[in-house]
Structure 1
Amino acid sequence: MGKPEKKLKKILRILGIAGAVYGVFRFLLPLVIPFLFALIFAVWLHPSANRISHCLRWKIPGIKRQVTVPEGAVAVMELLLIFSALAAMACFGGRKLFQEIVRLSEHLPSRIREADRVLTKLCRLTEKTFGLKSDFVVLALRTLLREGMFSLRQRAMTLIVGHSAMCLRFCIYAGVFGAIVLIATGLLVQEMDFWKKRIRNSEFQREWNQVCERLTSAGAAYLRAQGMILILTTLICIFGFWLMKSPYYLLAGIFVGILDALPIFGVGTVLIPWGILMLFIGNWRKAVLLFVIYVVCYFLREILEAKLMSRKVGMTPFETLLSMYVGLELFGIAGFLLGPVGLLMIRDLSRIWETDEGGEAAAAGGQE
């Protein structure tokens, strides 16, 4: 067993590191978030920008020195091409989604009547099962839905009118944010050698390298796993809803895929109640398809997360869920990502500090 003073010192060290990480996330990160994105893009694009810049060299007659395209300009052009491709894909997908939304709005009255018919059938069954008065549950549910729709409509109008100026500010902020990211990416790529040399000569070189390497490997594993799960889940749902002959298979598949990416929710949030509803109305084919889609998506997530994340991230599922919840309480929606990152930083910095203290103690003992 360790000495009480050593245990207390370890607890205080962990608390101090946790407080420092919280302070960085709370106060410093919002100020440097565009430059953090620029750093990620710069590290990613620097090798290709360097190669392309070396290829784009030519001599101008009468000038002995070669003329080259700066690496930073090449990186900015690469980033613009990537963003343009993503915007084109978003426009194509958005056009398809808009068509499905228009089709949904055109068929909305018939869908409402169908839903009313199904709910009425369920209410009749409930009344018969519990021996209630005829139309008691039906009238209560219709009154509840009518009041709920009125309240929802009022709140929607309030949000639209009250947040129009906020949407305009958000658009302006997004434009400024994107411009800063582009410019900072070009500058960082251009000055990459300078910053590498500066980090090598820094006092915190070992800590920086170890934490960055750890976060890079864990972050890459996490994003790769979640990205693959999101894409495959969305494709499976789209294909399954297409087999169900749903006219909104693309819209529904993307919605369920995004819902599955949220830690608290999942595909079962939609597919299980939907499947139970299909069983109640006697549509066995759709019910079976929905349950099959759920099982496939569930095992897909379990297999891919275990294969791609467990070794790289180094956190158990309980630790991941706990860190996500604490991050959500501290930082809002961004805490889903900041929570696990913060836990990794606290753990790795504590180990580095403990190793340094052990080495200093051993050195002091040797001198004695």
Structure 2
Amino acid sequence: MKEMPSYGLKVRHPLLYRFGVLTGITICVYLVFRYLLHLFLPFILAYLLMRMLFPVIWFLRHHCHFPKWLAYGGTLTVFFGAVFGTVLAVIWQLLRQIRLFGQNFPVYRREFMALYVHHTGRLCGCLDTWLGLPAGKSRSCISSWCDRLLVESGSRLSEQAGNIVSGCFSGTARLLTVVLIIVVSMIALCGDMQAVHRIYRKSVFYPAVHRVAVTLKKSGLAFVKSQGIILVVIWVICSVSLALIRNPYSILIGCGIAVFDTFPVLGSGMILVPWAVYAAFGQNYYAAVILFIAFLLCVIARDLLEAHLMGNHMGLLPFFMTAALYVGVCLFGVWGILMGPFGVILIRSVYEQFLEKNNEPPE
């Protein structure tokens, strides 16, 4: 009997069919990131960290002939000690610089207000002359607007002070809980690593999940790992450079520059180059040279590390990377810097695997 032709949506409207599939995958990824990722993230991080440490453990067991408990215990002890020691040292320095900034804030406020009054007076005088207004009219309007803005900001800040403090305490408690879960999970995986691998390979979801995981390992995980390493390297470069010019907030400002450098096109040059030019006009040539060298080191480090750690695995143009960062930050806040591009890569990986499974050519 002759087969009846198919008139489904896939055949009649292939473009609409693919758009529907892509939309469904995007919605699923968003829902997972919004409502499920925080539940499984500590265990995923624990597994990935153990996978990272496993070559060291294997070397100690098979080449150095350490007993199992010593290989696992020694590796984890050194790892936890190095990580926690570094984190505590950085946090202590950050808190010290934040406290110093709070102590010096009245001085900075007075200097800012002096500059504001001086330049505003000149600008408002020019505006009054150009627009034919009475002398002091534009300045009084700007002053009244600034006074209302300060009053409203102060009232809103006082109203939200309790929520801010409680949010800081609850956020710190959640962070410590996540860290504790990661540590306990890594210790538990010392004896269960092989059993977890066997269960994973026997699962009915293994073929599909494994294909997506391989793609993510080449692109998404490479992106997260490389961006984390690059952020730390640029943070160190900027902090050391600012310490050389004796900036009292070297670690704090270096952290801000490193985060700003994660955005495509903008980069650290948007901060370091104008700062160097300002220092040069102020005849502080030593600071100008140090800041310009820091900018060059940041550019070289990013180019070299991205080429070495990621290569061409991302496949995202700077325009789409910027869009992914913007959407990620709008949806997930600061964590969207990583979750936005990673979500795009995950969506693309699942979509390509879907097309491959259905014997369709990828786009």
User: Structure 2: where are the runs of 5+ without partners?
Assistant: 1-9
Correspondence 1:46 to 2:46? no
Shift of 1:35: 1.4
- Residue aligning to 2:282: 283
For residues 103 and 53 of structure 1, the distance between their equivalents in structure 2, rounded to whole angstroms, comes to 48
2:172 and 2:196 mapped to 1: Cα distance?
Answer: 32
Matching residue's letter, 1:37: L
CA contact (8 A) 1:43 1:189 kept: no
Q: Is the 8 A contact 1:267 1:297 kept in 2?
A: no
Distance 1:162 1:92, change over 3 A: same
Trace 1:82-161 onto structure 2 (pairs within 5 A).
Answer: 82-132=79-129, 135=136, 143-161=144-162
Distance 1:148 1:191, change over 3 A: same
CA offset digits 1:245-269 (Å, max 9, x no partner): 5343443333322333356975456
1:65-84, aligned counterparts within 5 Å? 68-69=68-69, 74=72, 78-79=75-76, 81-84=78-81
Residue correspondences, number = 343
For the 8 Å contact 1:271–1:291, the answer to whether it is kept is yes
After superposition, give the CA deviation of every residue in 1:171-203 in whole Å (9 maximum; x if it has no partner): 433333223222222333422222222333333
CA–CA distance in structure 2, aligned partners of residues 264 and 145 of structure 1: 33
How far 1:351 sits from its partner (Å)?
2.6
Give RMSD over aligned pairs: 3.9
**Equivalent-residue separation in structure 2 for 1:131 and 1:272 (angstroms):** 35
Q: 2:292 — aligned with what?
A: 292
Secondary structure of the equivalent of 2:219?
A: helix
The answer to whether the 8 A contact 1:323-1:343 is kept is yes
Q: What displacement does 1:311 show?
A: 0.4
Partner-residue secondary structure (3-state), 1:191: helix
Q: 1:154 to 1:343 in 2, by over 3 A?
A: same
Normalised TM-score (structure 1): 0.73
The one-letter code matched in structure 2 to 1:90 is V
Contact 1:120 1:138 (8 Å CA) reproduced: no
Shift of 1:215: 1.4
- Cα offsets for 1:24-57 (capped at 9, x unmatched): 3333323222211222122222333344456443
Q: Distance in 2 between matches of 1:11 and 1:270?
A: 41
Moved more, 158-167 or 188-197: 158-167
In 2, distance between residues paired with 1:122 and 1:185? 58
Q: Which amino acid aligns with 1:93?
A: V
CA contact (8 A) 2:264 2:318 kept: no
Distance 1:183 1:306 in 2: 33
Q: Distance in 2 between matches of 1:245 and 1:30?
A: 40
Structure 1 residues 101 and 30 mapped into 2: Cα distance closer, same or farther (>3 Å)? closer
Q: Which residue of 1 aligns with 2:195?
A: 194
Residue 366 of structure 1: aligned partner? none
Which residue does 2:4 correspond to in 1?
none
1:129-188, Cα deviation, whole Å (9 max, x unpaired): 434455555555555555544444444444332344444433433333223222222333
The answer to which of 220-229 and 137-146 deviates more is 137-146
Give the Cα separation in 2 of the matches to 1:187 and 1:157: 46
Please say if residues 273 and 295 of structure 2, whose CA atoms lie closer than 8 Å, have aligned partners that are also in contact: no
Q: Give the Cα–Cα distance (whole angstroms) in 2 for the partners of residues 198 and 294 of structure 1.
A: 49
| TM-score normalised by structure 2 residue count | 0.74
Q: Which residue of 2 aligns with 1:307?
A: 307
Q: Cα offset for 1:81?
A: 4.0
5+ residue gaps, structure 1, are 58-67, 360-368
Map of 1:336 onto structure 2: 337
Change in 2 beyond 3 A, CA 1:284/1:50: same
Taking a change above 3 Å as real, the CA distance of residues 145 and 101 of structure 1, as seen in their structure-2 partners, is farther
